[in-house]
A = this chain, B = another copy of it.
Amino acid sequence: MDTLRERKKQRTREALLRVAIELFTTRGYEQTTVDDIADAVGVSQRTFFRYFAGKEDAALALDAMTVSNFVDSVRARPPHEPPLEALRQAVLQGWDTLHEVVESVVPVERFLGMYRVIESTPVLLAAHLRRSAEVEEVLTRVLAEREGLDAATDPRPRLLVAVFSGVMRVTERQWSTDGEFSLEAMRALTVSHLELLGPALTGTWVPYTKT
């Protein structure tokens, strides 16, 4: 980890990632070529592809960090918590610790900026959604194990995770299109949407007034 070689590698990777995010957020994803990134770092295109599986991979790298942080939080939740509450707490915890997770690479604002890029770039959004589906798979297994159930035969963990993820997707989307683009706004939206989950599922809807 501390040999010169390793440090050089890590520096190259971070340089590539930083430049990529910079260009994606300023110029746009489609308007940025891999060559642009590689040239800006002073490295060959081939090298870029040795560090990232593709252009998408670089664009989603930050998000991947926060996601794995979230999954860790879920695993660390006390076992007596009901599953849905464990997910809820883990997400909120994720927002609170986002700073420490992301700041080692870029300032948090850049992360927020990338979110807008992802949400507004069809091919990136698609890749993001597919990754989310993979995360759902992982969460399903975690919850099943927590509760001593068999994820292969019992659909309930999978269903709960799917519902939860659906709510979070709605939250992400509204957040990224709203004017308010802060972590506090994200927290508030998360809480409010999860509270509305019950009422939204009732047979018929009573008139709604914003609280």
Name A's B-contacting residues (CB within 8 A). Answer: 82-85, 122, 125-127, 129-130, 133, 147, 149, 153-160, 162-163, 165-167, 169-170, 174, 192-193, 196-197, 199-201, 203-205, 208, 210
19 contacts between A and B (CB under 8 A): A85-B203, A122-B130, A126-B130, A155-B174, A155-B193, A155-B200, A156-B208, A157-B200, A158-B170, A158-B174, A159-B193, A159-B196, A160-B200, A162-B166, A162-B170, A163-B163, A163-B197, A163-B200, A166-B166
- Summarize A's interface: helix, strand, loop or mixed: helix
Residues of the B chain whose Cβ atoms lie less than 8 Å from the Cβ of A208? 149, 153-154, 156
Given A153-B210, A205-B147, A210-B153, are A200 and B125 also a contact pair (CB < 8 Å)? Answer: no
State the number of copies, please.
2
Closest B residue to A198 by beta carbon equals B201
Choice from B127, B156, B174 contacting A200 with Cβ under 8 Å: B156
Q: Which 8 A-B pairs have the closest CB atoms?
A: A162-B166, A166-B166, A126-B130, A126-B126, A129-B129, A159-B200, A156-B200, A82-B203
